[in-house]
């Protein structure tokens, strides 16, 4: 029996019928779709563990255009700074005035929350030691009792300009919108002037059941392991798919 995850927003926002959350499988990258996987030409397209990262869970998107000028020189102060504004400002002001969680002002997290310039946090360094942008999300999420959600950048399909910080929320009891700080990829873009368009993939949402676990470290039988290893070497793709995998539906 399928579990149900609900994405809820203010009626006025739902009426817009734009950029609803969707199963992440709609976001499979084009380069992956074009791969040819067949006998004699095995590719990652036949690797079920990789495929499942692209199809597991749901997708939240940027709710508005974000006009970004990151680590650029401020003409007034002559120092590196960060500038951004959000599209659809008039609409956003109206929606926020009616209690809808959308972006209209400069929502930022200071780097002091991650130890500051000398704290050693790699996210601070990657973000060029500038404040982190926070994307306000109009949806809150409801899962069955005992289920949480893992929020991560789209797995194996990242945007090369930014990534959201990952987090876990107990969405069965937390009945509020979840906002997402993002880190600009300063390793690739020391300065970045861009528009992150409305509808751009933001986070992958993976619901899971909360359970207590206890780890053990044990030895395995070398004879049993050796036989299984040779079997996998012959055709890992097919062996895993046919003997160990159970397909999961995400709708």
CATH number at residue 110: 2.70.40.10
Position 202 in a domain: yes
Confidence tier at 190 by pLDDT (50, 70, 90) = very high
Between these two residues, 236 and 189, which has the higher pLDDT value? Answer: 189
Kindly report, residue by residue over 111-126, the tens digit of the pLDDT: 999 999 998 999 999 9
Confidence tier at 180 by pLDDT (50, 70, 90) = very high
Position 85 in a domain: yes
Position 41 in a domain: yes
Average pLDDT over residues 201-230: 83
Domains held by the chain: number: 1
Position 91 in a domain: yes
Listed range (27-31, 116-120, 184-188) with the worst mean pLDDT: 116-120
Owning domain of residue 37: 6-213
Position 232 in a domain: no
Position 241 in a domain: no
What's residue 196's pLDDT? 96
Kindly report, residue by residue over 143-170, the tens digit of the pLDDT: 999 999 999 999 999 999 999 999 999 9
What average pLDDT is seen over the chain? 87
Position 149 in a domain: yes
What's residue 153's pLDDT? 98
Whether the predicted pLDDT of 222 surpasses 80: no
Confidence tier at 53 by pLDDT (50, 70, 90) = very high
Position 33 in a domain: yes
3-state secondary structure the chain: CCCCCEEECCHHHHCCCCCCCEEHHHHCCHHHHCCCCECCECCHHHCHHHHHHHHCCEEEECCCCEEEEEEEECCCCCCEEEEEEECCHHHHHHHHHCCCCCCCCCCEECHHHHCCCCCCCHHHHHCCCCCEEEECCCCEEECCCCEEEEEECCCCCCCCCEEECCEEECCCCCCCCCCEEEEECCCCCCCEEEEECCCCEEEEEEEEECCCCCCCCCCCCHHHHHHHHHHHHHCHHHHHHHHCCCCCCCC
């Amino acid at each position: 029996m399928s579990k149900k995850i609900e994405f809820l927003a203010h009626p006025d926002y739902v009426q817009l019928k734009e950029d609803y959350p969707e199963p992440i499988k709609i976001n499979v990258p084009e380069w992956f779709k074009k791969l040819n996987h067949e006998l004699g030409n095995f590719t990652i397209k036949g690797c079920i563990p990789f495929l499942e990262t692209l199809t597991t869970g749901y997708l939240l998107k940027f709710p508005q255009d974000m006009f970004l000028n990151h680590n650029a020189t401020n003409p007034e102060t002559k120092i590196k700074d960060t500038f951004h504004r959000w599209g659809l400002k008039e609409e956003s002001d109206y929606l926020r005035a009616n209690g809808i969680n959308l972006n209209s002002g400069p929502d930022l997290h200071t780097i002091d929350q991650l130890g500051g310039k000398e704290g050693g946090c790699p996210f601070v360094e990657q973000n060029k030691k500038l404040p982190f942008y926070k994307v306000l999300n109009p949806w809150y999420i409801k899962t069955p009792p005992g289920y949480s959600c893992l929020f991560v950048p789209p797995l194996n399909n990242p945007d090369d300009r930014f990534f959201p910080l990952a987090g876990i929320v107990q969405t069965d009891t937390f009945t509020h919108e979840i906002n997402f700080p993002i880190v600009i990829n300063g390793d690739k873009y020391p300065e970045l002037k861009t528009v992150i368009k409305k509808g751009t993939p933001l986070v992958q949402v993976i619901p899971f059941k909360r359970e207590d676990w206890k780890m053990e470290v044990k030895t395995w039988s070398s004879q049993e392991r050796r036989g299984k290893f040779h079997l996998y070497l012959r055709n890992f793709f097919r062996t895993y798919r046919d003997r160990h995998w159970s397909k999961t539906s995400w709708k």
